A and B are shown apart, each in its own frame.
Chain A
Amino acid sequence: MMLVMTLVVDDTADALDAHLAFHLNAGVDFVIASDPRLDDDTKEILEAYSREGCLRVFPTRGAEDTSLLTDMARLAVSEHGADWVIPSTPREFWWPRGESLKDVLAVIPERYAIVQALLRTFAGQRREGQPIGEDWTVRSSLPAPGSGDATPQRLLRPVYRAGPDMIVDPEDWTLGGRRVPLRAWYPIEIFRVSQTPPGAQSDAAVDDLIASGELVVDTRLRDALRTLRDARTGGFALPTEGRSNLAFPVPNIVDDASYAVECAAVGEVDLVRLDRHLRDLEQRIAALEARIWPRVRRALRRLARRPS
């Protein structure tokens, strides 16, 4: 199984090194990266990983390139034999709920073409001289069910089963229902680290939010980066001879039962949505019938007129 990450480098370079090292240890086999900003710092990091043979820089064609994600994904398939493609930014850390990202994706039943990952937003406040990731220890909790301001898709991100003609459309993952997503269970979590540290929040305010349940202490990402970081150079370790330096815990039944509550809170499946889905399907059937029956009638008339 080949897992490729496509990466569009956004406006900050500070997380890039940690991001690449983390995912190569989490089961990603190869990265295709595009850097529309042509920044010297990121270029240097990308070139270093490219020299290691685990990354390829995709030529950039400007920030408005709408087919960039699709083109990178197709390259992942055609030249790197991808079975799954994860489209990411350097601020998103994809955390498997299993031994590795590969391990989690390998057992997804064939009928699902999209696996959705659950977004967790970390709000860090990096202090002077602190290594990257040390402040990523507090994240927002999921909105309460029915709070209404978050559609399920805002809380989720797609991973795609790869195919030669695949299209990656950030606005329509299923391409109008042409791909089946795995609904209501999210075997990967995404730790999205905030782009600008919310310096306005004091430690006391954060403690209050933790006490109220709006924020949650979660040290998994920080601990993983500590494991990978070389204290002497500040760099991060890559897998050695294909062996990861990270050990992701496999959730047990108690973990899964807790996580099920969060998955349910996303609210992706309920009677209202099911009803909407069914009505949409009915309308489409009606539209097809409206086209098909006149054609059938015309064909029958033609047959009837034909001399026997």
Chain B
Amino acid sequence: MKLVQTLVVRDEADIVAAQIDYHLNAGVDFVIASDHDSRDGTTEILESYSKDGHLRRIPVSGEMRDGPWRTHMARLAATEHGADWVINTDADEFWMSRGGALKDVFAGVPKSHGIVFALSRHFVPRPDDGAFFAERMTVRVSSRVAINDPTSPYRPHLKAAHRADPGITISFGAHTASSSRWLAFHHWHPADVLHFPFRSLEQWENKGVRRARGDKPLGQYLTALRASEGGRSGDRYRALLVDDPTFERGRAHGSLVVDHRLRDALRAIRGDSTESGGASAFDAGVISESVAVRDADLVRLHRHLDAVNVRMAALEDRARRTRAR
């Protein structure tokens, strides 16, 4: 089986090499990366993997077009790189299978189905003592109820992986994939996506300001932009940081848990440890978090229906006006 990873990246030099190293060690055979005008050394990092034959770098520029770029790469994986399965990633996401290697998990998917969803597990920023992010960020959110705040970086969501398909379409953020060839497995999550969205004040501010001006300015990025414009980035970032007292409160409440899996996996890759990290043991939180994703999807569906309702009301109003004439 050939497993190909797609990656959309812009100015993520602090994490991108770890992300690629991790996935190449976790069973990924080849990486296709859309490099969006990076200026912080990310391009050079990608080029080094390209020289080694592990990666194809696609330079992209201008306005962010997340869905189309992901779709293009996923189709290339099928048409030019002989992929059997494709995982769609961001630079701050690490796919970790639950039981067995990634390839084993995908090999177990019934032939009739070709789209599966991994559960995102969000890690929180911890005080920056200069250590590498994976050494510091070993606490993640484990909310038993969905946080449905449209401006929160911690809303429950899924990420799509799929069998190769030259006609596949990937959505913004790769939360869904649609294919005329493959059925989707909706309620089974064979892997976690360990997600490290905010890692330092500088990275949070740069990412937020840039993305707020992108193709889908999410509330979390608008918050960063407003803080930056108001000279309040430091204060605002401190509210995101989980210091030790906050962590203890969250652990007592059950909304924060310790998770060393990525730290251990990266240590093992570097040869610093014999612990492999890798596949996780049974994790009780996964059940409640899966339920939270389902609840969050219900809310998304209801919000979507509200938008359809507005269009419907406009049609009714037009029909009423036509009748009145």
Contact = CB atoms under 8 A, between A and B. Distances in A.
Contact of A108 (B141, B219, B299, B315): B219
Given A185-B148, A260-B148, A107 B222 contact: yes
Given A184-B299, A253-B124, A260-B147, A103 B226 contact: yes
Contacts of A291: 319, 323
B295 A264 contact: yes
B152 A256 contact: yes
A109 interface: yes
B306 A264 contact: no
Contacts of A277: 302, 305, 309
B41 to A, nearest CB: 30
A261 B154 CA distance: 15
Nearest to A178: B313
A183 B299 contact: yes
B255 A253 contact: yes
A289 to B, nearest CB: 11
Interface string B295-307: 1001101110111
A300 interface: no
Given A253-B242, A264-B145, A182 B310 contact: no
Contacts of B305: 274, 277-278, 281
Nearest to B318: A288
- Classify chain B's interface size: 35 or more
A interface, size bucket: 35 or more
Contact of B312 (A185, A258, A264, A285): A285
A254 B142 CA distance: 10
A292 B319 CA distance: 9
A180 B307 contact: yes
A252 B242 contact: yes
A177 B309 CA distance: 6
A302 interface: no
A281 B298 contact: no
A187 to B, nearest CB: 7
A274 B246 CA distance: 36
Which label, helix, strand, loop or mixed, suits the secondary structure of the B interface? helix
A269 B299 contact: yes
A264 B146 contact: yes
Interface in A174-208: 174-185, 187
B312 to A, nearest CB: 6
Nearest to B302: A269
Interface in A255-299: 256-258, 260-261, 263-264, 269-271, 273-274, 277-278, 281, 284-285, 288, 291-292
Contacts of A103: 226
B271 interface: no
A232 interface: no
The 7 closest A-B CB pairs, nearest first, are: A257-B255, A250-B239, A177-B309, A254-B250, A107-B222, A184-B148, A185-B148
Given A253-B256, A254-B253, A281-B309, 20 more contacts: A106-B222, A106-B226, A109-B150, A111-B307, A175-B313, A180-B303, A180-B307, A181-B306, A183-B148, A184-B302, A185-B147, A185-B149, A254-B242, A254-B250, A257-B141, A257-B143, A257-B250, A274-B302, A288-B316, A291-B323
22 contacts: A99-B232, A107-B223, A108-B151, A174-B306, A177-B309, A177-B312, A180-B306, A182-B303, A183-B302, A184-B299, A184-B302, A253-B124, A253-B256, A254-B246, A254-B255, A254-B256, A256-B154, A261-B144, A263-B148, A264-B146, A269-B295, A269-B298
